[in-house]
Structure formats: C-alpha cells, structure tokens
Structure 1
Amino acid sequence: LDAFKMQASAGAGSYDNLRFELDVSTPIGTKAGLRFGAMAQDQDQFFATAHRNRIGGFAVGSLEIGDRTALTVGGYYDRFRPAVQSGLPGIIGGVDGSDGRLLDVKRSTYLGADWNRFNAETWTGFAELAHKISDRWTLRATGLFTDVDRVDIYSYIGNQPVTATNGSTSHIAYRGDSKQQTRSFDFNGIGSFPLFGRDQTLILGTDYQASSGTSYFTRLSNYARIDVYNPVSPFEPPLNPYGASPYYPVQGTGATCPSSSTTITPAPTNCVLQVYGGSSTDVEQYGIYGQMRLSPLAGLTLIGGGRVTWWDTTTTTLLTPSGVLPPSTRYGIDNRFTPYAGIVWDVTSHLNLYASYADSFTPQAAPVGRARPDGQQIEPLVGAQYEAGTKLSLMNDRLLLSAAAYEITQTNRLFNDPDIQTVVLQTGKVRSRGIEAEATGEILPGWRINGGYTYTKTKYLEDQTTAFEGLPLVPIVPKHMVKAFTNYAPVDGPLAGASLGGSVTWFSSTYGGNAAVFNADGTLRTRSTIVRQPSYAVLDLRAGYKFNERVGVSVNVANVLDKSYYARIAATGRGNYYGSPRTAFATLRYSFE
C-alpha cells in the first residue's frame, strides 16, 4: 500500500432496505499495511412478515520481512439472519391426467410462521507466508480456520398440493442447533524453468483439511394447518432438540393429549409427537497436487495436472429417542487421482481456441438404515467435464467475444430401493450439455455493452426408474437464457459525470414435477404434479451521477415493469417461489485517497 484510501457507501430502497459499507486501507511505515472494513444490511422482504439482517467485518494486515518474504494475516466475522421461506404449493393435476398449475395468489403470500428465525455466526481467520527463494521460484504456506454456529427455528408447510377450492395444508415445526469447525493448510511452490526456448510453469503442492461438526434437531410434523388462500401464522410450539417432549395437541382442535413422551399405539387423536436426534461428523482429507503449463511452440500452451486425495469421514450418533446409540460409521477413500488437461492455441494475437478435460469426485454416504445389496462401500459420485471454446478480441481490444460448449456427466448416483427398505442402489447416470456465448466491451468512449446467451440441456441416462431415462434431469432450469446490458457515461461535455443503463433478461419456459400415471386399464393411478412457468423477461434500469472524484450517487430499479412470475418452481408440493416485484435502491458513495 502506497497511500491511505477509504471508500464508504450508504443505500436505501424498497421494503425498508438499508445498507452501509466501509473499506479502509492504510500503509504502516514502508513495510506494512492494514485494510479493514464493515458492512450492515437490514431489509424487509416482499412476502409478508419476513425480514433479513446481516452484519460483517474484516481486517487484513500485511508485513514485508526482508526483500523476499511477505506475511499476511487476517480474519472476518459474519452474522446472517435471513428470511426463512419454503415457497408455495401448487394445485394438483386433474383426474383426467392434466397437469397441475401454479397458484395465482398475491406475491406477498407467506406460508411460514411470523416467529420464524435463523441465526448463523461465522468466524474466519487466515494467514499466509510467501518466500521468494529465487527470481523464478516462490514458496507459499497458508492456513485457514472457520467456526460456524447456527440455530434454525422455523415452521414450514408440508409437501402436499392443494386444490382450487381447498387451500388447507399441514405445517411442520423444526429446530436445529449446529456447530462446525474447519481447519485447513496448504503448502505449495510455483515457479518457471527454461525449455523449448521459453519459460514453462510448474506448481507442486500438498494440502490438509479437517472439519468437525455436531448437530441436534427436533421436528414436529402436522402440528397445525394453514390455508394458502387466507394464511394465518400458527403459534410457536415448544421445541427441544436435546430430549423427549410430551405429545402436543394439533392447534385448533382443542385436543387434550397424554403427558407421555414415548410413542403410543394407536396414536391419540389430534396429538403429535416430536422426533429428535443428534449426531457428529468428522471429516479429514489431505492430498498432493500439481500442474504444469508447457509452451512447446509459440502461441501453443499445454496444461496438465491432477490431485491425489485421501479422505476419511466418521459419523457418530449422539442422541436417539430410544437411547440406543448405534456404532459409528466410517467412510474412506484412498489414493483417488483426479486429472485434468487442457490446450490453448493463440491463433493470432486476437484469437485463441481452447479445450479442457477434468475429472471430479464427491464422497457420499448411504441414507441411514440402508446399504448396498452386495455389502460393499458406497462409491463416490464421479464426474467428467469436457469443454471447448474460443475468445476473439476486436476493435483494438475494446470488444471481447467468447463462446464455449461443455458436457458434464455424473455416475454412481444413489437411489433408495422402493421394495427393500434397507437397500440403496448405485445405478444412476446423468448428463448436462450446454453452450455459452458472450460479448462485452466498450464499443464507443463511455458506452459499455454486455450480452450473452446460455443453452442448458440435462438428461437422465440411467435411472432406477426407467421411465425417467431420456427425460430432463432438472427441467426447472431454463433451457435458454438471453441477457443484454448497456450503460452509457459521457466522457466529456455538459453530461460528463452522468450515466444511464439498463438490462433485460429473458428465460425460456420451465416445468417441474411428474406426469400422471395410468393403470393398464386406463384408469388414473396418480395425478400429475407438474407445474409450468411460461417464458418471461425482466427489465432493470439504472442511473448515476458522479459529482466529483470523491462523491457519486446511483439509483437502480429492478423489474421495472413489475412482471409477476415464479423465479423458481418445483412441483405441486412446496418449493415454488415468486420473483421479486419492482424494487428501487439508491446508493451514495464517497471515496478518499
């Protein structure tokens, strides 16, 4: 850092949205520097009674130790209290096999409870020591720790559909208390060496990560009901994730329930019992990795590398209603190699072509009480990604065009055997293919543009339910998306300092859920749970004015036309979310250096 610098902003907008940010950097002598900052945001939501709040801060210090060594130490704190929202249900499909449909209710409709709350606190600290051992090689050691404390207390609707005339659905109360600690370390070296008459790059490193977490939960199902057409928040029931609680009367029934906290058969009428439990999960992983970038010819770069991973997970049950604790389960992976490779060809100084391949794996565990029929360990979720693309620079590098195509496959997906409650199967394979194209740049002084197109197609290749094979994996993701943005800021003249811009984003139609199923004789077995969101576009606008080098103001208006649409859909059960109505947000910025 060469000089003191400060940036601050304050903003206000729709739904009592208030936000403040501060970022300060300052040198300390000639060998050290300090940067620190803070943010705070408080905001209501467009759906009734919901609120979110966030505060955070960070500090980073740097110190040069001699001419070749640098030390960086820092940390940040984040406290997040988001709005808890499980979305809206849909209307079940017809008895004739027709699809269901999304609810046409006010966007402010909220089917949670007015006492819902969520609190997550995250503390993070890190340190990095870098030492330049020569003009070509640098060694770097880093360490990171993160502690997360989280408490969730909320009520949400069950996963049942409603009808056009009956909007009654169940409510589920939940409390979860969890703590998570993560420690990670990395040591690597990066450098270059001469070969083929030019410098080549090599990275070698090793890393280690350990995490330990505990979680306790309780869930009280069907303790209340709510009408989606006239929602009234249920009352908060007692929720104890650390032990048994007696039967609870379903709200609104006037039931008198026994004081027993153990299951009674048959169950008392209009009385429900909490389920609860606790567990801990310890994960330890370490590995070695490397990457080499070779340029055997001018304009041609070959990239190769990979990682060898060792992974161990131990899960322990800490609390059960029966008091019987099963033995801990362990899941391990040894010497798992995940390679990647790529090639970049600079055809000219303005055009390049590239292609790449990468392997991935994600450890996974069988659901509680289930195992593979052969008794073998669950295999990790394995992925392979192929990508090829090009980048073209035009107008003296003022305009950049890019295009890419990719394919991702995943195998070893888990499926619960519907006939044997203790068996899980690994037979799933899925594929995603896509195309992305983008143009960005400043085509005239002060006039910036950005536009892009995304095509996404997902597909079940193999599935335990053969009827799914060939169908989209995630039809709730738009197959086509187009986005265009422009902003004009005159560089001189009477309008210098002003700026005006806007964007429009278009999404193709989506659907979620499963089609109706008919018996062999043509009678209906199960109704359709499919809901559909037609294609739609959202227009955003912005304007700003920079009074001088230090002070500026801007106003952003999202969804200018106040388009009503579902931004995310699932099926006729819960999980359908309206997009935000029109909102405005004004920001005042100040900088000093």
Structure 2
Amino acid sequence: MTPLALALLSAWPLHVYAQTAAGPAANTLPAVTVSATTSPDATTEGTGSYASKTATIAGKTEQSIKETPASVSVLTRQRMDDQNLTTIQDALKYVTGVESIDYGDGTAYFKARGNLLGVEFDGVSIMGGFQYLQQFDLAMYDRIEVLRGPSGVMDGASDPGGTVNLVRKRPQDTFHVSTETQVGSFGSVRQMVDVTGPLNKDGSLRGRAVLVGSDGLQSVDGTREKEVMAYGAIDYDFNPRTTLSLSAGYQVNPISGLDYGASGVYNSDFTALTGRVPSSYSQNFSPSWNYGYTSLQEANANLVHRFENGWKSQTTLFYRHELLKGDYAYAGPGATADGLSYYGEQRQRNSYDWFGADTNLSGSVQAFGLTHSFTVGANYSLLSSTAESGYVSLNGPFDGQTFSLYDPNAVQKVDTPFTYGANNRTEQYGVYAQARIHLAAPLTLVFGVREAFLQETSQSIIPAVTDWTTQAQLNHRFLPSAGLVYDILPSLTAYANYSKFLTAQTATTYTGAILPPRSGEQYEVGLKSSFLNNRLSTTAALFRINDNNRAIADPVNPTGSIAGGKAIDQGFELEVTGEPLPNWNLYAGYTYLNVRYEDDAPDLSDGTDPKHLFKLWTSYRFTQGMMNGVMIGGGMLAQTRISRGVEQGAYAIFNAQVGYRFNKHVEASLQLNNVFNRSYYIRPPGNFYSVFGDRRNVMLTVRSDF
C-alpha cells in the first residue's frame, strides 16, 4: 500500500453526505458515494479469442477499449500462438498501423503514425528501452497492448507515435504444463516449456516458469542465431485484498554471420543513388566472421491492494540490464553497378541499465446518480548507459580500396580498438491524474493531466574523460489530454480526443544552447462498435498530428540547428477483430497515412512510411463431422512503396496454415510463409544497409497442453 493511497483513503470515507446545518431535506445535496466494482481482467491467456474487451495501457488500470477515446489494439495470446509469433518485430508487423523494420542484427525499430513508438513493461514507462534493442522472447508475455498517438499523460515526454505495453504472463491458480516445439525449413529448431500452478495447499502462493531454447539459420545464407530464455514468476496473496508479484527473466542471443546487407548503387559521379545490387535475396554481403552477442536480465515487483470500498492501490518496480557487443564488417557508403563497395569494420560494446517505478491509486465515485472514476499517480524512469565503439576503414583488392559484394569473405578481420566512448544518463519523472466524468448517461469526459520533468546528460570517456554536460532538459512542463465518449447505442460508441506531446531534442544552436523540445498535438475522432455479445469489435479512426519545433539545420550558421521544422501526420485506420462466427477468429487492420514535412525532411536512415498498410490473419477450427479437429488459417501483409534512396515497390506477402488437434492435449500445425516466394526488402538500400524479407519457408509446430 503506497503512502499516497493511505493518505487519500484515510481522508475519504466510504459515504460522504453534504447538508446545510438546519436546512430541510429538500435542500440536501445529492449523495456522493465512493465505490467501485471489480475491474474486468485484461488477461488474454485462455480466452481463445483474438479480441480483448479491456486493456491497461490507456490508464494504468483495466479499462473498456470501447469506452477509451483513443486507438488501442491488443495482440492476444491466442493470436500469437496461431501465427507462431515469437519475436516482438514479427508480432508488431501484425498490429494495425505499426511499421516493424528489421535492422539485420536481431533488433528492429518501430513506428506508428509517422513517429517512433515508446514502451511500457507491465505499465511502467521506460525511456529508450525499445528501439534498436533486443527484446525477450514472446513466450514470456500474455499480451501486447498498443496505443497509437501521444500518451504524454501516462508516459511523459516522448515521440507522438504511441506506446507498446508488454504484459507478462502471471502464475495461474491451477496446475498447468504446456510445451511448444517448432521446426523450420531454414534449419531452425525451437523448444518452449511453460509450467504454472499453486505452490501451497490454500493456493495463496502461485508460481510459473517458462524456458525457451532455439538454434537456427535465417533466410539470409550463413546467418545463425541462438537463444536461451528463462522466465520465472511468483504471486503471493498476503490476504484476499493484497497481492505481491515478483518476476525475473534472463536471455542470451548470440548471432554469427550477421549481415547488415548491401547499400544502394550510385551513379558514376557518386551524387545520387540509382538502384540496388542484383541479388538472390538470400545473399549474405558480410564476412562469415561477423558476430554479435546480447544478454538481457530483468526483474519486476508489483504490489496491489484492493480497499474495502473498491479502490485499488498498486506500485510496480522494474529493472532491466542489457549488454550488447559485436565485431563486424559492413558495406558502404554506396556500391557500383558491378557490385564493388567500400567496407569498414566496427567493434562495439554497449551496456544499458533501466530502472522504472510507477505508483497509482484508482477507484470510482458515485455522484448525481452517475459513476465517475479517477486515477492519480506518479512514475519515474532512469536510463544509464555506456557506449564504446571503434571503426576501421578497410582496403580491398579492387582498385586498392573496394571489395566485391559477392565475395565478402575476402574481407579480413583487423584489430579495431575503441576510439569513442561515452556515458549517458536520461532521467524522467512526473505526476499524473486521469478522470472519467459521466456528464450524462451516454456522454463521458475523459480528462488527463501531467506535470513532467526530464534531464539528459552525457560524459565522454574515450579518448579522454570529460565533465558531464546537459544535452536536454524539461522542467515543470504541463501535458494535458481530453476526450469525449458518446454511447450512440449499447453496441456503438463515438469519440473525439485531443492530446499534447513534448519530445526533448539534443541538437543545439551554433552557440551550444539547447533547443526547445519538439511539441505539438493530436486530434482524433472515431467510432467503436461491438457485436455478437462482444465477440466481434470494430474501430474506425481519423487522426492528425501537428509536430512543431523540429530540429533543422541553421540556414545562417551551418554549425548549429534551429527549432524551425514542422511535420503533419494524418490519416485514418480501420480494425476488425474477434469471432464473426463460433470457432472462427478474425483480425484485419488497414491504415492510410499521409506524412507531410514543412521546412524539414524525412530521416532517410529510418526509411519512409507507406501510405497504405493492410494486415490480415484468420483461422477456423472444425468441431463437428469428418473435419472435426482440423484447423485452417492464413493471412497477408500488404503495403505500398517506400524509399530510402532506393525504392521498394508495393508488395503483398501471403501465409497459409493447416492444423489438427489429435486430442484435448496435443495439436500440430504446418504453416507456409510467403506462399508465392515474393522477393522484397523490409528495409530497402540507402547509403548503408538493407534487409531482405524472408523467402518462402515452412514451419511445423507441435503443442501439448496438460
């Protein structure tokens, strides 16, 4: 129980009546009752559905998605299993409006609505913990919640693309063992074991353990990645109202033969990219001695207390450590039409330590015949990191400086000392509040506020140790949001919202002064519906993000920057998810996005955004007749053109699946990915790097459940 919870609850009795000292009953104000009903559980494990009625990402507690004035998607445990999704980059490829761009080394970057996504782990906002970083195997998580658009009230200063909340599996109150064995046609093998259940007679102590091991080749020739992951969790009920949850995770990911791909082909005077290097789309353009290694350790503690009047207090602490090291050669900048390119060798070692804390109190108040809910809390996030790297330009046998992209093993490893090193520290904290006020029976006002603080500092350690300097700072910044929800029908809701965002910038003026933060707002309107007794949900949303004060080059003083850029990100989204018929699960999401820059330009190193993005997955399970036990499924991912200097045209990838349940304990499925063997780039070539999409492949999965 937090001090904040004790203070508020001790001062707030269960029933509060206001009346004049001697006035008659006619002058009595309406009764105000502090109460709450039991919150619906947002857990998706065991539901067997692609749809989720509630999520925690929009307000720290379980809230109805239909009554939330924002775009929220939930990737449930059932859909992760049906699609055989094991990595966060594969999973987010199948979430409405999200771009998941592989980076070639087991990591990726993620965008929505033209901007990068932030991350929460079990509701704790963690700065800098998502992009270009290894994440845990998805066997650890119950669901992935995604809120598109700014989330400044709950998460503070961040990009306006949205937030991903990774929610871990919790121990169950009955004994349960499940296994998953996967064999892929590239030569991959993966084994998962999940055990959970009570650890004492009365069930007040429950535990869970998840183990994963994998070893496999990738779509690109010669690339091999291994993984070992262990996750453990314990829940303990001190009493029926108070629960302590502890969990920890460990994972290592060594990768050999990692390939960052080939850069684009330049014209004869090296002034413009004109095309890409011809390839079989399985070509590894890097030497076989390339390697990378990542280790992750994580710990989480959560204390929840439910008061007798229905209010709930919860406090969560989170810690994660990540070590990343590697030594590799890569091609670029640029290449010639016959496949000659410069190569350089890079050696690096980065370590990251994240700490996050969130404490909040939530509940409801009955007044004027209606129920109103409130959440108030505070959170803190700290990232401390050390980065060391070195780069050596290599000389090849062709013209004394270039190598053939088709013979990367001619690139010899050399000694590469660290020539750059820095310590970095980013600290953010704030207090927040959110209220859901029922203005009338069908109309609800959702209002949120935050007082935000942020500081980012750095210190050089190589080639020489320097004093710490401030790179960015925000003090006492007010971040509001407001939304209206109108229940047109019991099954149909309309909403509108406004939310403000701030994003700290590290660019400076020519005098060295810190630039003001990027700032702006999002406007969104939409319709949400639920049909068939809430088994099928739909969402339609229109949005516009105004992004101001973006750092651009100073036209007068080229050694500095000014906050003069602007971007407008606007479009609409459609999503359908759930069960149109019994035993038939369906997910479909479509996004139209138009990104316009004023006095600014897109960062081509991150790629550009497709205007049209469509995602589909569906499955049907036969439960009667000769087909009893058979499952059929499939899906597609389609997008229009993107460019990073070299264009990737529009493409569509189709997947198909068939499965059979032998009995209530064992089932198997065979999945054919990229059915038509479409050749495409996930990340088209630029000055450096490119990433191929996977070729046609087959995955056999066998699951047991006892």
TM-score, normalising length: structure 1: 0.83
Q: Which residue of 1 aligns with 2:243?
A: 70
489 and 474 in structure 1: CA distance in 2 versus 1, 3 angstrom threshold: same
- For residue 335 of structure 1, the aligned residue among 468, 471, 476 is 476
Structure 2 residue aligned with 1:500:
632
> Where do 1:181-580 residues align within 5 Å?
181-224=353-396, 225-241=402-418, 276-320=419-463, 323=464, 325-330=465-470, 331-366=472-507, 371-373=508-510, 376-417=513-554, 420=557, 422-463=559-600, 476-513=608-645, 531-571=646-686, 573-580=687-694
CA contact (8 A) 2:180 2:192 kept: yes
Amino acid at match of 2:677: D
Contact 1:553–1:586, Cα closer than 8 Å, also in 2? yes
Distance 1:383 1:42, change over 3 A: farther
Question: Structure 1 residues 63, 233: CA separation in 2 closer, same or farther (over 3 Å shift)?
Answer: farther
Amino acid at match of 1:485: W
**Which is further off, 431-440 or 476-485?**
476-485
Q: Deviations over 1:179-236 (max 9, x none)?
A: 2222222221111111231221111111222232222111112444321244434121
Give the whole-Å Cα distance in 2 for the aligned partners of 1:96 and 1:117.
30
C-alpha contact 1:190 1:202 (8 A) present in aligned 2: yes
In the alignment, structure 1 segments of 5+ residues that lack a partner are 242-275, 514-530
Indicate how the Cα distance of structure 1 residues 510 and 411 shifts in structure 2: closer, same or farther if over 3 A, else same: same
1:2-13 to 2 correspondences below 5 Å: 2-13=173-184
Q: Give the conservation status (yes or no) of the 8 Å contact 1:437–1:454.
A: yes
Match of 1:127 in 2: 301
Distance 1:108 1:544 in 2: 29
Question: Which of 282, 285, 294 is the aligned partner of 1:111?
Answer: 285
Instruction: Report the Cα distance in structure 2 between the residues aligned to 1:475 and 1:313, rounded to whole angstroms.
Output: 26
Mapped partners of 2:316, 2:328: distance in 1 = 38
State the AA in 2 paired with 1:196: F
Q: Which residue of 2 aligns with 1:91?
A: 265
What's the CA shift for 1:46? Answer: 1.9
Deviation at 1:24, TM superposition (A): 1.1
Match of 1:59 in 2: 232
Cα distance in 1, alignment partners of residues 540 and 277 from structure 2: 38
What letter corresponds to residue 295 of structure 2 in structure 1? Answer: E
TM-superposed CA distance for 1:479, in Å, is 1.1
Q: Deviations over 1:96-125 (max 9, x none)?
A: 999722333111211222111111111111
CA 1:156–1:388: 2 relative to 1, 3 Å: same
In the alignment, residue 377 of structure 2 is paired with which amino acid?
A: G
1:362-410 alpha-carbon deviations (Å, 9 max, x no partner): 22212xxxx3146532222324222221123345544433211112232
Distance in 2 (alpha carbons) for counterparts of 1:60 and 1:447: 33
Match of 2:113 in 1: none
Aligned counterparts of 1:37 and 1:233: Cα–Cα separation in 2: 43
Q: 1:563 to 1:386 in 2, by over 3 A?
A: same
In 2, are the aligned partners of 1:460 and 1:473 still within 8 Å (CA)? no
Give yes or no for contact 2:265–2:334 (8 Å, CA) kept in 1. no
1:303, CA displacement in angstroms?
0.6
- What is the percent sequence identity of the aligned residues? 27
Match of 1:143 in 2: 317
Deviates more, 1:543-552 or 1:385-394: 385-394
Aligned equivalents of 1:347 and 1:124: distance in 2?
Answer: 45
CA distance in 1 between counterparts of 2:218 and 2:429 reads 42
- Name the structure 1 match of 2:254: 81
1:28 to 184, 199, 204: 199
1:240 aligned counterpart, secondary structure: coil
What residue ranges of structure 2 are gaps of 5+ in the alignment?
1-171, 397-401
The CA distance in 2 between the partners of 1:63 and 1:154, in whole Å, is: 46
Looking at CA atoms only, which structure, 1 or 2, has the larger radius of gyration?
1
Q: Does the Cα contact within 8 Å between 1:300 and 1:346 map onto a contact in 2?
A: yes
User: Aligned partner of 1:107: which letter?
Assistant: Y
- How many residues align structurally? 526
More helix by share: 2
CA distance in 2, matches of 1:288, 1:372: 31
Residues 433 and 68 of structure 1: CA distance in aligned 2, closer, same or farther (over 3 Å): same
Tell me if the contact between 2:639 and 2:650 (Cα under 8 Å) persists in the aligned partners.
yes
Change (3 A) 1:315 1:457: same
Contact kept in structure 2, 1:136 and 1:193, CA below 8 Å: no
Q: Distance in 2 between matches of 1:566 and 1:229?
A: 18
Would you say the 8 A contact 1:94–1:100 is kept in 2? no
